[in-house]
Amino acid sequence: MNVIFVGDIVGESGRTALKRALPKLKEKFSPDFVVVNGENIAGGNGITPRLAIELMRLGVDVITLGDHAWDQKEILPFFETEPRLLRPGNYPPGTPGCGHIVVCGNGKKIAVINVQGRTFMRPEVDNPFLYIEPVVRELRNQTMCILVDFHAEATSEKVAFGRMLDGSVSAVLGTHTHIPTADACILPGGTAYMTDVGMTGPYDSVIGRDVASVIARYKTLLPQKWHLSRQDLRACGVALEIEESSGRALQITPFQIPCGNLDAENTEM
C-alpha cells in the first residue's frame, strides 16, 4: 500500500502549492490514499466547509486538523456530515466530530487517527498517551494499516509518542511546527516516524507569515497585522510504503516539491 501524507497547508499559498504538486506526487508514488493536514488552510487559521470540499475534489481522502480546528465557526456543523474531516480525538466528549476513521479504496483499507499534544499547547486536551492505545486496539480489528497525525509542539513529546506506538501502528507523523525535521526513519518495531513533516506553503516566511511583520512583533512586543507570504511555495510531506498484511512500514520518503510563487499581492490574514 502506498500513502501520501502532506503537512500543514497554509492559506492560499498552501492550497496553490498542493494543487501544483499533487499531480507530480501521484505520478511518482502512485498513492492508494492521500491524507493532508488542513488546519491552517483558511488564511492560516482553521478550515471552512468550502475549503474541505475543495481538498476532497482534488483527491484527498482524509483531512486532519489540530489546535486551529475551531477557528472558523462555520466548520462546526460540517463535522457532523463529513467523517473524512478529523479533529484531534483527545478533545473532551461531546466535542463536534471524531478523531479517527477507516477509509477504503483500490481494494485496500487504512485507518487515520488525529491526536493533539499537550506540552506548550493550548487548549490542554486529554492525555494523548492514554487516549491513543484503546483507539489503536479498536482499529486494528478492522485494519493493520494505521496512520497517526500527532499535532504537537515539543519534539520530546513527539519522539516519546512515536516510540510508545512503535509496532502497533504503521506511521506516526508530526505536524504543527511547520519546519521539516531530518529524522525520518522506520523504528525497530516497523513504525515509520518523522517529528515534523513540514508545512505546505510559502517558505520565504516565518512559518508562513510575512517576515517583516513577525520580526517587528519580536522587536517591539506590540501586536502586528499578520499577512501570509506568497513566495517560495513548497509542498512538504512524506510518502509511505506499507505492508498490508502486517501494517509494518517498508519505506518512508520525505518530499519537498518546489511550487513557484504567487504573484498577486496577498490579502489574506
Report the C-alpha gap between 187 and 193 in whole angstroms.
Answer: 7
Give the CA count within 13 Å in the CB-facing half-sphere of 194: 29
Is 68 marked active-site? Answer: yes
Task: Determine which one of 68, 176, 178, 227 is catalytic.
Answer: 68
Cβ-proximal residues to 260 (8 Å cutoff; 6+ apart), any chain: 20, 233
Joined grid coordinates for residue 172: 506516526
User: Is 174 in contact with 154 (CB distance < 8 Å)?
Assistant: no
Measuring CA to CA, which residue among 94, 88, 66, 77 is closest to residue 135? Answer: 88
- DSSP reduced 3-state for 112: strand
- Give me the DSSP letters along 188-253: TTS-EEES----BEESSSBTTB-HHHHHHHHHH-S-----B--SSEEEEEEEEEE-TTT--EEEEE
First to last CA, the chain: 38
CA separation for the pair 212, 226 (Å, rounded): 10
Catalytic machinery residues: 68
